[in-house]
């Protein structure tokens, strides 16, 4: 088998019989000389890998505990808000917020709230309208496809149920807002995204 392997190496030009296969002997001698050093190197790499794995397991356990705590707090808050006391407290807070935080006259938010109130479609927990351009400038949106038209795109965030947010994208066309997409997002989904970003 050894002779067959030597002939195979000779065929691909790795060694030659013209120098008595000296290249093969040199490689074997190098392996023998460096065997101990390479064994120590492999041991060090193995220890480093084990240490890193141990740290990752500890971090994963810590994050699991934090996630469990977050879920417990969320469940408790939901139960509180679903009770009559919690609901009335939230409703009272929302009413006070609306009366004290009246949008400035003749702003985009002012006309948005006015139109919703006139049509009787005002969500219980408010509705807020922002231009895509402003959200990009604030770093909330990463970017907008076809950015040259971003000033005509608007994002509306509203909530009519506890822990549920409706996001609607509209485009201004001929002085009218045309809805181009919508998505309903739950609070626990947002927190799950935040948890994944920490990982």
Please give the mean pLDDT across all residues of the chain: 78
Domain assignment present for residue 160? The answer is yes
Split into its structural domains, the chain has a count of: 2
pLDDT tens-digit map of 19-36: 988 999 999 999 888 888
Cα distance between residue 165 and residue 51, in whole Å: 43
Quote the radius of gyration of the chain (alpha carbons, Å): 33
Residues 115 and 188 in one domain: yes
Domain for residue 80, yes or no? Answer: no
pLDDT at 114: 85
Which of residues 99 and 20 earns the better pLDDT score? 20
- What pTM value is reported for the model? 0.43
132 Cβ partners below 8 Å, 6+ apart? 141, 144, 150, 151, 153, 154, 155, 169
* Residue 131 per-residue DSSP state: E
Domain for residue 77, yes or no?
no
Bridge partners (DSSP) listed for residue 166: 158, 184
Confidence (pLDDT) at 71: 80
Choose one of 51, 68, 85: the last residue of a domain. 68
Using the 3D structure, point to which of 22, 41, 68 is the last residue of a domain: 68
Q: What is the dihedral of CA 122, 123, 125, 131, to 10 degrees?
A: -80
For residue 155, being part of any structural domain is answered with yes
Indicate if 140 and 189 belong to the same structural domain.
yes
Same domain, 109 and 169: yes
SS (H, E, C) the chain: CHHHHHHHHHHCCCCCHHHCCHHHHHHHHHHHHHHHHHHHHHHHHHHHHHHHHHHHHHHHHHHHHHHHHHHHHHHHHHHHHHCHHHHHHHHHHHHHHHHHCCCCCCCHHHHHHHHHHHHCCCCCCCEEEEEHHHHHHCCCCCCCCCHHHHHHEEEEEEEEECCEEEEEEEEEECCEEEEEEEEEEEHHHHHHHHHHHHC
**Of the residues 68, 94, 122, which one is the last residue of a structural domain?**
68
Residue 116: CA atoms inside 13 Å, Cβ hemisphere, count? Answer: 18
Average pLDDT over residues 105-132: 81
Beta bridge partners of 157: 128, 167
What pLDDT score was predicted for residue 93? 44
Domain membership of residue 191 as a residue range = 104-198
Q: Is residue 98 part of a domain?
A: no
């Amino acid at each position: 088998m050894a002779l067959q392997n030597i002939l195979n190496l000779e065929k691909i030009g790795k060694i030659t019989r013209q120098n008595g296969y000296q290249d093969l002997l040199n490689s074997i001698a190098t392996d023998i000389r460096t065997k101990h050093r390479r064994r120590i190197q492999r041991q060090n790499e193995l220890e480093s890998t084990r240490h890193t794995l141990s740290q990752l397991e500890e971090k994963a356990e810590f994050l699991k505990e934090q996630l469990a705590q977050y879920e417990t707090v969320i469940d408790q808050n939901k139960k509180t808000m679903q009770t009559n006391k919690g609901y009335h407290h939230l409703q009272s807070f929302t009413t006070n917020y609306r009366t004290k935080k009246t949008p400035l006259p003749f702003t985009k938010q002012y006309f948005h709230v006015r139109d919703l109130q006139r049509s009787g479609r005002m969500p219980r927990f408010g509705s807020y309208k922002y231009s895509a351009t402003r959200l990009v400038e604030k770093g909330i949106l990463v970017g907008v496809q076809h950015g040259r038209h971003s000033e005509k795109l608007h994002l509306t965030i509203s909530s009519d149920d506890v822990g549920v947010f409706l996001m609607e994208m509209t485009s201004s066309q001929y002085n009218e807002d045309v809805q181009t997409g919508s998505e309903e997002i739950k609070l626990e989904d947002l927190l799950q995204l935040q948890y994944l970003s920490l990982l």
